[in-house]
Amino acid sequence: MADSSAEKSQKATQHRREQAREQGQVAYSQDLSSAALLVTGVLLLQVWGGKIINASGSFMRYQLSTPGPLSVDNGAIVAQSQQLISTLGRALLPIVGLLAIAGIASSIFQVGILFVPEKLKPDFKRLSPMAGFKRIVSLTGAVKLSLGIFKVGIVAAVAATVLYLRREEVLLASTISTRELAPFLVDIALSTALWVGLALFTLALLDFAYQKWKHEQDLRMTNQEVRDELKNMQGDPQILARRRAVQRQMALHRMSDKVPQADVIVTNPTELAVAIRYDPNKMIAPIVIAKGAGVLAQRIRRLGLEHNITVVERKPLAQQLYKEIEPGDPIPGQSYTAVAEVLAYVHQLKVTIRTAGNAG
């Protein structure tokens, strides 16, 4: 039976995800970017296509109606080229700019802002004919080929459906004038391209969801990998345990020195313990000299009993002091009244005990 620790049964840690991202391993669908550009381009052509045609037609009419120069020199060629670039640039710039924005937005939607310089380095292994042949005949290559054939089928089906729904218009196209035929053909082409693009965009969204799922599966870790990563990030567990033991011993040693100086120990009653000291001649307010939970709380109470320090059970006060105050800090104003009542009670208790002792 295989060891279960060899199975990738654990979700990827944040460190594993960051490492994969730094290496460019992210969930990305090229089809989604291509489909987004196709849909955006068709929509832009529907909006600005007429302006491009009008600008191109105006430029052609101007060129054909204007007599050409008798002599052609470099200056005339440069001027004509500049005029052509300026005319077409003004018409095409909105489309080209918005297409660039759409391409960038589709990438940011999938992977966020990511720059991996390693991906820019040339990989000469990809130039190997044998490696390329292995990719083609592999299972992955067969799956990609099948998906490609499926997409071609979807495109053909959507295009045929659009043309079928507009079959009456297509059949009547032979009766319209040549001037009306061109806009009709453009409308048919753009309408078909838009529906094809939307179909491909839907398939691309499904592909992106699959890529995210596959990426998560590839990042999953075995139990041993999780332990190794924890060890690398935090150090050897035995060293950490030894370090915590040393820190605990040091805390107990400091506690043994501080607790005997306390005037009262406030408890919760067994989970928490806070030792408080107050010297009105030297302190403006009482201070917390030690606190602990669990084993440390038991240690504080034991030291208090050994040195005849009064232990008072005040559950809300102990919780507040343990949560808000560190050893060495003075009591804050909102807790001062409650602490003063405890100190007054301890003082009165000591006076009563001393009086009873003197009377005896």
CB 12 within 8 A of CB 219: yes
Mean pLDDT per block of 10 residues along the chain (360 residues) reads: 59 84 85 92 87 80 72 72 80 87 90 73 64 64 82 92 90 84 88 93 91 89 82 67 75 80 87 90 88 87 89 90 88 86 87 72
What pLDDT score does 35 carry? 92
**At 108, is the secondary structure helix, strand, or coil?**
helix
At how many degrees (to 10) do helices 139-165 and 129-137 cross?
Answer: 60
Q: What is the dihedral of CA 344, 347, 353, 358, to 10 degrees?
A: -130
Dist CA 93 CA 303 (whole Å): 82
Residue 3 confidence (pLDDT)? 45
User: What pLDDT shows up at residue 161?
Assistant: 94
> Is 310:355 a contact under the CB 8 Å cutoff?
no
Question: DSSP string of 246-301?
Answer: HHHHHHHHHHHHHGGG-SEEEESSSSEEEEEE--TTT-SS-EEEEEEETHHHHHHH
Residue with structure tokens 């105006």?
A: 58
Nearest CA-CA partner of 259 in 225, 295, 224, 296? 296
Confidence at residue 196, expressed as pLDDT on a 0 to 100 scale: 94
User: Which amino acid is residue 315, in one-letter code?
Assistant: K
Tokens 């806009």 sit at which residue?
183
Which tokens sit at 299? 């240690």
The DSSP secondary-structure symbol of 121 reads S
Give the pLDDT of residue 5: 44
Q: Helix 30-65 to helix 74-111 angle, to the nearest 10 degrees?
A: 160
Q: What is the number of alpha carbons within 13 Å of residue 286 lying toward its C-beta?
A: 28
Q: What is the Cα 322 distance to its own chain's centre?
A: 36
Handedness of CA 133, 139, 145, 148 (dihedral sign): negative
Q: State the helix-helix crossing angle for 139-165 and 178-219, rounded to 10 degrees.
A: 150
pLDDT at 133: 60
Extents of the domains making up the chain? 27-63+76-116+125-202, 251-359
Q: Please name the CATH architecture into which domain 251-359 falls.
A: 3-Layer(aba) Sandwich (3.40)
